[in-house]
Structures are given as structure tokens and as C-alpha cells.
Structure 1
Amino acid sequence: MIRVSVVVTTRNEAANIGNCLASVAGQDFPREALEIIVVDNASTDDTKAIARRFTDRVFDKGPERSAQRNYGMLDVAAGEYVMFLDADMILSRTVVRRCVELLDASGHVALHVPEIVLGTGFFPSVRRFERSFYDGTVIDGARFMRRDAFAAVGGFDTSLTGPEDWDLDKKLKGIGTIGLLSRYDFDAVDAYVSGLPAAGIPDALVGFEAKSGQDVPLLFHNEAAFHLGRYLKKKTYYTGSAEAYIAKWTRQDPDIARQYGAFYRFVGVFVEQGRYRRLLAHPVKACGMYFLRFLVGALFLARRSRQAPSA
């Protein structure tokens, strides 16, 4: 029987870790073949106590999420397949099983898993809209993979903070292909998520396929109540290693050119493969998305300007 190891990295995530691990434990995949690993980073709240309700595989490792992921996926995991999650993520019930089925059938070394941003109100809906364009593109990042492939490329580059997911994708593409678990109807999923009551959300998300009528395995990301300042601060923090990542692969690399090129990030990714139809169908969300993209881009350029050596 194929075994899957799901690694969840944490730091003071008592508010989220229970929902995350409940969704992993609730997968329609044989429980005896599903290993749950939590790698904490010196939490001072009840994160580890809550995690131990779901698994005895709870460890401490730092200083950043890449080191935590490498430890869990390389040093601890016993599965042939590995998956990494943040503590604020919730899986719908069929994700693990269908990832295994697709990797077995396709020969891919890894998979992108569609990610749905949670939250009600305008900006969470805008973030959900924006994220829907990235599935399976160079802006996405593999989350489920063959453990031997992850080991072969050396896992995450722990010197990077932010673009380490993109870096991992590039390394994995050097030894095989990365597939996309599924595509979904944005309007149907957005309506379902927007209509969820404040209570009972985890159960509604784990059972998404059955409750929504959409037979699509998805990963839901609870980014908490949207606050523009916190959002921009987070985005700015994760651009800190951008120059090191670019230097590693060079600016001539086609993926780098797209990931950090203004045309692709503002136009190309939103119109390729017929995606422009979704853009045209949601003009208000599109305006909100470009407002956020403009702010993030301006902060990135300002940071690069401050870091540039003086003549």
C-alpha cells in the first residue's frame, strides 16, 4: 500500500492547527497509510498540545519554514509521497487520494493543488479571484510530490525566504514534470465559499465535494480577516530573497522573466489559455486585483531601490 506523509509547519498556530489536522485526518484515504507530521518552531501557545490530539509525530525545528519542511519531509517522513501544508490550510476530503491516483497514472514527479483563499467581503473575494489565475503556472508552487524526487533535488533551499517554493519547482522540473491536480469553476466555488456561515466552516470545506456539488478536490487557505497593511507587510517580507533567487537562476531564465516581469505578472498570467474571459466577466474584482497588484509591485520596486548599491 502506498503511504503518504503530510507535513504541517507551525509557529503559534493554536487558532488554526486543529482545523488543518482534522481535515488531513478526515481524508478518504486509508488512515493506516497516512502519516501526519507536525514540525513546530518554538510555539509558546497551545499549538503542540492541539497537534498531539491528532498525531504523536510532533517535532521542533527552526529557524524558518523551509528548514521545518525539509526536516519533516526528508528526515522524518516514511511515505513514498509527501505533501506540505501551512497550519492555516484545510483540505477537502478527496485531495490526498486523488493526488496519489494522478501521480500513479501520469508519471509526474509533483503536483500543483488548486488553492482557494477563504474569507467573505470584497478583498478576500478579490484575493480568491487573483489566486484562481495562478493554478499550474510559474506563479504556482508544487505541494504534493514523490519523496524520492524531493530528496533528489535536495529539498528546499533554506537560504531563500519567499521564492523557495518557486525554486523547488524549478529544481523538480529539472528531473520531471509537474501536473495540476484539477481545474474548477471559479464562480461556483466563489459562491460556495462566500455563502459559508461563520460557524461550521471546517466541516463544510472538508466535505466540499459532497456539499457543493462540485466534484473537485481543493485546498482552502484561511488567510484570516483581510487587513491591507498586514497583507502588504507579508508580501514585502517574502520578497526579501528575490535578488538571491534571481541570481541563482539568472534573469535570462524564462521562468524568472515571467515571475518578475511586469508584463506577465500584470497581463500574461491573466489572459493566457483563455483566462481573459474570466477577467472580462468580473470587472469589479479585476479592478480590485490590479489595485493590490500595483501596491505589491510598487513596494517590491521600492525595496529593490533601497537595496541597490550606490554608485
Structure 2
Amino acid sequence: MKVRNFEKSFYSGSVVESARFFQAKLAREVGGFEEGLVFFEESTLPYKILRNGYDVFSRVKPPIFHHEENFSLLTWLRKKFYYGKTVHLYRHKYSAYSVAQTSVWFRSALFMKNWRRFLGRPKLAFGVAFLKSLEYFATILGAVYSKLKL
């Protein structure tokens, strides 16, 4: 999906983008992924590795392709709602790190750092803003739902 690809192109090298490949020995050494956590679970391992003094921001040259050809907005928002159910656990355990990753202001700054490129594609920029608004709303609903146990 063009909007998602455009959005992701602004995250390169930031804490929003989670590293994907590590040596198994290193992953075991830091305790692996966080069990029982759904929200941003892919960022827990890089965070633990970073905390142990290793670089997690280096990139490989070949791009990583995400297969989102069959993107469904409703399915995507259900997924964000589901993730939102554990946002409080993530924010509690990874407080400062999670703020940078989930903050509307931090993400907006990533787009505005390259504002000419962002605003130079007005339809995609609008699509990103609209999609992110819906994502945040669905995540917040999931968080509220988990607290109220409706």
C-alpha cells in the first residue's frame, strides 16, 4: 500500500523502526522477546540489546519488503485495537522508550524533519495523517477496553 510505504520511509534509523535480525546467542543473552506483550512486542528485543551496549540502528542495504497487498482498513484497525489492550503493560515496563515510539509528537516530528518530501506528496501525506489518526483512536479504544474489561 502506497500510504504505508510512504509512512515507513520516514522511520528509517529511528526508534519507531525495530531491528529485525540478531544473532541467536545475543537474543538469548538479553532474554529474548517480552512474553505476554502484544503492543510493540517487536521492539522489546532491540531495546534490551541496545541497553546492553549493542548497536541496533545499523541497516542492511537490501530493503525489507512487507507483504501488505491485501491491506484491509477494518482488519488493520482491529489489529490496532488488539494491540491497544496491552499498551499499558508496554508503557509501564518501557516508559521512556515507549514514549518516543508511540508519541504523536515524536512521529509528527519525523515527518516534519523532511517536511518538503512529506508535503510534496499531499495525497500520501493526507493518507498518512488519516491512517495514523485512525490507528491511534483504535489503539486508545483497545486500551480503554482492557482497563474497563467490557
User: Larger C-alpha radius of gyration, 1 or 2?
Assistant: 1
Q: Which runs of 5+ in 2 are unaligned?
A: none
Partner of 1:219: helix, strand, or coil?
A: coil
Which residue does 2:118 correspond to in 1?
279
| Larger helix percent | 2
Query: Which of 85, 106, 113 is the equivalent residue of 1:240?
Result: 85
Query: Which of 264, 268, 271 is the equivalent residue of 2:109?
Result: 268
1:249 aligns with 2:90: no
Cα offset for 1:224? 3.2
Quick one: distance in 1 between partners of 2:141 and 2:39?
A: 17
* C-alpha contact 2:85 2:145 (8 A) present in aligned 1: no
Q: CA RMSD in A?
A: 1.9
Which residue does 1:295 correspond to in 2?
134
Aligned length: 148
1:258 aligns with 2:103: no
Give the residue type in structure 1 aligned to 2:26.
Answer: A
Quick one: distance in 1 between partners of 2:85 and 2:145?
A: 12
Identity of aligned residues (%): 30
Considering Cα pairs closer than 8 Å and 6+ residues apart, tell me whether 1 or 2 has the greater RCO: 2
* C-alpha contact 1:163 1:239 (8 A) present in aligned 2: no
* C-alpha contact 1:135 1:180 (8 A) present in aligned 2: no
State the TM-score, normalized to the length of structure 1.
0.44
Give the residue type in structure 1 aligned to 2:116.
Answer: R
State the TM-score, normalized to the length of structure 2.
0.87
Which residue does 1:134 correspond to in 2?
11
Which residue does 2:46 correspond to in 1?
169
Cα offset for 1:309? 5.4
Quick one: distance in 1 between partners of 2:5 and 2:94?
A: 30
Cα offset for 1:220? 0.9
Q: Deviations over 1:254-298 (max 9, x none)?
A: x22222222113x112123xx223202211100011110111111
Cα offset for 1:148? 2.4
- Map 1:165-204 onto structure 2 (within 5 A): 165-175=42-52, 176-181=54-59
Partner of 1:144: helix, strand, or coil?
A: coil
